[in-house]
Amino acid sequence: MVFEHSPKTRDWMKRVQAFMDEYIYPNESTLDAQMAAFGANRWQVPPILEELKEKAKAQGLWNLFLPESDFGAGLSNLEYAPLAEIMGRVLWSSEVFNCSAPDTGNMEVLVRYGSETQQERWLKPLLRGEIRSAFLMTEPEVASSDATNIQTSIIQEGDSYVINGRKWWSSGVLDPRCQVYIVMGKSDPNEAAYRQQTQILVPANTPGIKVVRHLNVFGFDDAPHGHAEVILDNVRVPAENVILGEGRGFEIAQGRLGPGRIHHCMRLIGMTERVLEMTVQRLMAREAFGSYLHEKSVWEQRIGEARVMINQARLLTLDAAYKMDTIGNKAARAEIAMIKVAAPRMARKIIDEAIQAFGGAGITDDFKLSYYYAQARTLSLADGPDEVHNRTIAKVEFAKHAPRPALAH
């Protein structure tokens, strides 16, 4: 077992770090100012984002997330992990490297399962960073963490499919660059549970699509990306827009969510590492009751535990990345589930204590701690709630033991 990154990974880390230092950190306030200048209409793209994307692309710091693929930088999950962590320190920066959700998941789907026509029409502009995309699975009417519940209908009529349903938490739909949705729905309710679902590509301007409302996250709008509730009312698209084939939606969803989950966790670790640095600096700079705050034993305990928790989460994440690379996403499902449970919890606890350390300043917007907290809290739900992931881990655990005789009732 080798507990250090390879020379290749270290080189990539240096390059991403240098880009962050030269272009991302100095422009955090630029992006905030550009968003503020939009006033009430925040569903616009701050020009700095597109400027920085061109610079990252020119330096080859582009599409780093696609494991071992000719379409991207050719990095494994293990090689990408520390890069995502570096990006995670600034929440919007992953987009600059064309590595942000949900485009990354959608591109992975199109790389793995898309037809040549679908790749030409949608994957290539996504890979070039010219358009953005959304993934529409979750529905307000059903418990969507169990994807077999999804009710939206996708029914073939001649050489088209007609889609009817209501989705929500459709991230990215409000971004003016979002041109395509991957929609999951039921094509045959009489099939076996895991063969009823289909995924289909729907251009964002198709008649019958109605964006009903924007959804805030703890009051934050997440603009210009955002999340929305969407009605699909007799939306008609060509039959060739089906991905992989009718009834294969569940299979695609499983393939899609593994890498997306680990990317979120890697970025969360970067974000929390930054929060810990801010906390330490704050504690070392302020005095109360005759000594610096960092000298109080309660803060020694909290900072010590924070370091333990971040390192635990990082090692767990790297282990999951390694297993995904070596035994595949399906066999690594317990490891993926473990970090999906552990990383948001770790982040939440450390950010909560950072807010405490900052006192009243902690809940203002000045240090973004409340926004970080909202992000970390969200990730115990998005891409599946903790309970569902714990269930996956437990099933693997139970499967290690011989079946028990049935209990007599």
Pairing outcome for strands 209-215 and 197-203? unpaired
Among residues 27 and 133, whose Cβ is nearest to ligand FAD?
133
- Nearest-angstrom CA–CA distance, 317 and 406: 37
Q: Is 264 in the site for ligand FAD (CB under 6 A)?
A: no
Member of 18, 36, 143, 315 binding ligand FAD (CB under 6 A)? 143
**Residues contacting 109, CB < 8 A, separation 6+:** 182, 199, 243, 252, 255, 256
Give the H/E segment covering residue 370. helix 369-378
By CB under 6 A, is residue 381 in contact with ligand FAD?
Answer: yes
Contact (CB, 8 A) for 283 and 293: yes
Exactly one of 35, 86, 316, 382 binds ligand FAD (CB under 6 A); that residue is 382
| Among the residue ranges 174-182, 230-238, 348-356, 381-389, the one whose residues contact ligand FAD (CB under 6 A) | 381-389
Only one of the segments 1-9, 47-55, 325-333, 378-386 lies at the binding site for ligand FAD (rule: CB under 6 A); that segment is 378-386
Instruction: Give 221 or 319: the residue with its C-beta nearer to ligand FAD.
Output: 221
Task: Identify which of residues 227 and 302 has a Cβ nearer to ligand FAD in the complex.
Answer: 227
What is the C-alpha separation between 396 and 313, in angstroms, rounded? 20
Angle between helices 7-19 and 77-88 (to 10 degrees): 20
Q: How far is CA 4 from CA 10, 76, 78, 252, 315, in A?
A: 9, 15, 11, 33, 11
How many residues contact ligand FAD, by CB under 6 A? 22
Q: Which of helix, strand or coil describes residue 197? A: strand
- Site for ligand FAD (CB under 6 A): which residue of 227, 248, 267, 314? 227
Considering only residues 44, 115, 145, 151, which one is a binding residue for ligand FAD as defined by CB under 6 A?
A: 145
User: Contact between 199 and ligand FAD (CB under 6 A)?
Assistant: no
Residue type, 219: G
| Nearest approach, Cβ of residue 322 and ligand FAD (Å) | 26
Q: Which amino acid is at 347?
A: A
247 binds ligand FAD (CB under 6 A): no
Beta strand 160-171 with 227-238: parallel, antiparallel or unpaired?
Answer: antiparallel
Instruction: Indicate the SS3 state at residue 163.
Output: strand
Q: Residue 137 interacts with ligand FAD (CB under 6 A)? A: yes
**Per CB under 6 A, does 170 bind ligand FAD?**
yes
Collapse the DSSP code of 66 into the 3-class scheme (helix H, G, I; strand E, B; otherwise coil) and give the result. coil
β-pairing verdict for 178-186 and 132-136: parallel
Out of 169, 181, 299, 367, the residue judged to bind ligand FAD by CB under 6 A: 169
Longest dimension (CA), the chain: 79
* The binder of ligand FAD chosen from 67, 72, 102, 270 (CB under 6 A): 102
Tell which positions 48-67 bind ligand FAD, by CB under 6 A. Answer: none
As measured in angstroms, the least distance from the Cβ of 342 to ligand FAD is 17
When binding is defined by CB under 6 A, the residue of 131, 162, 231, 388 that contacts ligand FAD is 388
Could you list the residues that contact ligand FAD (CB under 6 A)?
102, 135-138, 143-145, 169-171, 217, 227, 378, 381-385, 387-388, 391
